[in-house]
Structure 1
Amino acid sequence: MPTVLNVQGLEVWVEGNGPTVVMLHGWPDSPALWDGTVAALCEDHRCVRFALPGYDLKQAPRPVSVDEMCALIAAVVDAVSPDEPVTLLLHDWGCFFGYEFAARHLQRVSRVVGADIGDTNSGAYLKSLKAKEKCMIAGYQLWLATAWKLGPLWPGLAHRMTRFMARQIGCRTPPEQIGWQMNYPYAMQWFGSLGGLRGVARVDRLLGPQLPTLFFFGKRKPFMFHSARWLAQLATSPGCEVKGLDAGHWMMKQKPAEFHGALRAWLARTSPHSGSGNTA
């Protein structure tokens, strides 16, 4: 049974023994995204997970800024591993917030595993997108950002909009677990809500150059969330590895054996460090 901590109102689950791995999910998921991953790692790793603020629909909406999110992650890391840096395991918006936390608290992070979201704030990525791909990205993200804006006034409509889009993009989370409260990162990106996303760290200057990184991406998607140039750069960086899977966005669910096998192998080949970027 997991140990459950309360950190600034977040219910934090801790399971297993060994080096600490902090898992951050994205939209529109929950800590249950990592059920299979915890089962695969908990014999020799200490697995930590929690719902991002606002993503537990049993609680009141809790949108947070980038600064507030990084402070919450820092509080969790300090609570579960006060003396040693942690490995971050990230997916979707969990990647965005986890990368920013790592950039601000490099000494608290030993390694990073990112799933499907890479250098989306780099010039190389923006240049790599075709016009059709840009329209597709803007279309679903603006839809969700608008649903978040409508939520306080028309929650029923906002829920239906959010669940509709989740179905459209192939999300496997049960509809009753998806709500408009989860959409605030899209409103941050497109409307500048909660201070927006300006000034965040460049991922291509963080992962690889400063931190050992394993990056997974799904090959079966209408567009990618990384540039080919960054992927090649990462693949040749010491201590780093790139793994493309024949899957969509939720590869840990769609290809669990391949995902968890590659994850375990990479964790075994690298060792936690004190933020210097070195590997064993």
Structure 2
Amino acid sequence: MSTRPHRYVSTSDGQHLAVHTHGSPDRPTLVLVHGYPDNSTVWDALIDALLPDFHVVAYDVRGAGRSTAPDDRSGYLVDRLADDLRAVVDAVSPDRPVHLVAHDWGSIQTWHAVTEPEHAHRFASFTSISGPDLDHAGHWLRKAPDGVRNVLRQMVRSGYIGFFSLPGLPEAAWLSGIGGLALAGLERVGGGPRVPARRSTRDHLNGLALYRVNMPRRFARPVERRTTVPVQALAPTHDAFMVEQVQSNAGRWVEDFRFHRFQGGHWSLRSNPAPVARRVRAFVEEIESGTSRPKTDPALRRTRRHGGAFAGQVAVITGAGSGIGRCLSFELAERGARIVAVDIDGPSAERTAELCAMITPGAAARRVDVTDADAVRGLAAWVDDEYGAPDLVVNNAGIGVAGPFLEAATEDIERVVDVNLWGVINGCRAFAPMMIEAGGGGRIVNTASAASYLPSRLYGAYSATKAAVLALSRSLRGELAGRGITVTAVCPGLIDTGIISNARLSGMGEIGRAKERLNRLYRLRGYTPEKAAARIAGALDSDPELVPVTAEAHVGLALSRLSPAALRAYARLAPPV
């Protein structure tokens, strides 16, 4: 067990909690609440990372570490645990609200505390790591807002709860050492710590009551629990026990909510605390500075279709001045993201940002030519200074060129390569290193096209650039997989975005008439950029490699795999213009 200096704080029912304090009380106070079957030593690495800037308090929850344990199982009710947190906060910072950071069961009890109106004024912010509010989780399981598949995934990962509820068997597993071996293996999932945590048999046995007394009643009769305390939820990408949707859905119940992913497993805060420390530091500094982003109108929050998968995230979108880029900006803003709208047309980008800010505050606009590598690097530096590393980068800017390849002007081919391919390359090279340094968990989305796998006599140069984007995206996905960054290629198909009106046409007769015929084809197809944006945003939940949007994009992809000869024959046909 830890030999760190500690003091005891008494609870309302006579328990004594061992409280460990670090750093100067003159700094903002962080209170760390551990989970099961841990004790406060689980925070040691994170404390070292945070100590220069904060007054850090960690305590052993009742029944763990050096704290006393109640004689009766009812002493582990989540209401008691929330009252313990209040007692610790009152003891270590009686005159100033504290910032809470909690993990696993520590998050569960802390959620309970921050959603109690009589306690909320004591808390300046709450960072939750791998732990939901039980009532929120109960509603999520019942209503399945993120789909039945995710509910089933969570039920599989929560199978241990049923085991912990059995009489005698969990105790036998811990006492025999079998449980400890299984836990050591689970700790290493996602690159977790190789050195076992400092736990005692007492930690393992006492905490079983947490499951036995709280889970049945909270899941059977969940109630609505809301809070005005700013909350950020941090979800490891390889959590063995939690699907991230349970945590992101908490945005339905919180006025000021942010959700971020980071690379690692359930206990990676021990082996790689830097991503957690970075998010905690940025969040607390924002709250302490008084510049926290304005809260979204509650009426608007109630109209959102999703609980917060993108809530508080920073999304950089190029080509955001029109078409799919603008509509995707609106869609992600509706889902809680802070948008950085980027376009070569500055006023159009500003208009997108202005409208996004009416949905979710915190949007901004930047005029950038994505073909200029220095300008894109400058954009990345500005985003990092203003927001920190983005959670999502959408390299969407693109232009069209049509007509026989041999008749196309050289400058037209060079321009479409510069925008469609080099624009994506510049975006990936500018933002990916920043996202890796921040701890991973981010997403890069590159807009390719169904033309990337559908050859055409009409779109040779355009298809070449989009095929290159698709190949680059697939390769980069493999390269960045070990760094916690996912890469997705989007292949929209025929979307009525107005791209033809701005496209360069060669060898197609009278240009104005040719554009009108092509525009008519897109209008007849009738697939709007709004529908495309909703499809893209919804698909990102599962981090797919490829997102075909329209029916023809799906059919073309299937034919490219099953019957490439049919596509070669199609490419020899004259286009219908």
In 2, Cα distance between equivalents of 1:181 and 1:272:
41
CA contact (8 A) 1:22 1:47 kept: yes
In 2, Cα distance between equivalents of 1:247 and 1:186:
25
CA contact (8 A) 1:247 1:254 kept: no
Change (3 A) 1:31 1:272: farther
Please give the per-residue CA displacement for 1:160-204, whole angstroms capped at 9, x wherever unaligned: 464355245336425655522222211124455xxx67777646x
Change (3 A) 1:168 1:140: farther
Please give the per-residue CA displacement for 1:8-47, whole angstroms capped at 9, x wherever unaligned: 2111011112111111010111111111221122222111
In 1, Cα distance between equivalents of 2:233 and 2:179:
28
User: Is it true that 1:143 corresponds to 2:163 in the alignment?
Assistant: yes
Amino acid at match of 1:74: R
Change (3 A) 1:20 1:201: farther
Change (3 A) 1:59 1:155: farther
1:1-280 equivalence runs, <5 A: 4-8=6-10, 9-17=16-24, 18-56=27-65, 63-104=75-116, 105-118=119-132, 121-122=135-136, 123-124=139-140, 126=142, 127=144, 128=146, 130=149, 132-146=152-166, 149-150=167-168, 155-160=171-176, 162-167=179-184, 169-170=186-187, 172-174=196-198, 176=200, 178-190=203-215, 202=224, 205-206=226-227, 210-221=228-239, 223-227=242-246, 230=249, 238=256, 240-271=257-288
SS in 2 for 1:217: strand
Change (3 A) 1:155 1:214: closer
Please give the per-residue CA displacement for 1:79-117, whole angstroms capped at 9, x wherever unaligned: 111111111101111111011112220111111111122
Change (3 A) 1:26 1:75: same
Amino acid at match of 2:18: E
CA contact (8 A) 2:108 2:133 kept: no
Amino acid at match of 1:258: P
The range that moved more, 96-105 or 218-227, is 218-227
| Higher helix proportion | 2
In 2, Cα distance between equivalents of 1:13 and 1:229:
31
In 1, Cα distance between equivalents of 2:248 and 2:82:
28
CA contact (8 A) 1:117 1:225 kept: no
Change (3 A) 1:197 1:25: farther
Aligned to 2:413: none
How far 1:265 sits from its partner (Å)? 2.1
Change (3 A) 1:136 1:42: same
SS in 2 for 1:230: helix
Please give the per-residue CA displacement for 1:43-97, whole angstroms capped at 9, x wherever unaligned: 2211111111112278656652222212221111111111111111011111110
SS in 1 for 2:32: strand
How far 1:255 sits from its partner (Å)? 2.8
Identity of aligned residues (%): 20
In 1, Cα distance between equivalents of 2:250 and 2:69:
39
Aligned to 2:569: none
Change (3 A) 1:143 1:22: same
In 2, Cα distance between equivalents of 1:71 and 1:179:
22
In 2, Cα distance between equivalents of 1:217 and 1:199:
26
In 1, Cα distance between equivalents of 2:171 and 2:140:
38
SS in 1 for 2:269: helix
In 2, Cα distance between equivalents of 1:163 and 1:89:
26
The range that moved more, 75-84 or 240-249, is 240-249
Structure 2: unaligned runs, 5 residues or longer: 11-15, 189-195, 296-577
SS in 2 for 1:211: coil
CA contact (8 A) 2:140 2:246 kept: yes
Change (3 A) 1:73 1:120: closer
Structure 1: unaligned runs, 5 residues or longer: none
Amino acid at match of 1:173: A
Amino acid at match of 1:47: V
In 2, Cα distance between equivalents of 1:81 and 1:156:
41
Please give the per-residue CA displacement for 1:115-154, whole angstroms capped at 9, x wherever unaligned: 12235533345514536424424421111232xx428xx9
Structure number with greater Rg is 2
SS in 2 for 1:88: strand
In 1, Cα distance between equivalents of 2:50 and 2:253:
24
CA contact (8 A) 2:19 2:58 kept: yes
CA contact (8 A) 2:29 2:99 kept: yes
Q: With structure 2 as the length reference, what TM-score do the two structures score?
A: 0.40
Kindly indicate whether structure 1 or structure 2 has the higher relative contact order, using CA contacts under 8 Å at least 6 residues apart: 1
CA contact (8 A) 1:118 1:225 kept: no
Residues matched between the structures, number: 262
Change (3 A) 1:272 1:186: farther
Amino acid at match of 1:163: G
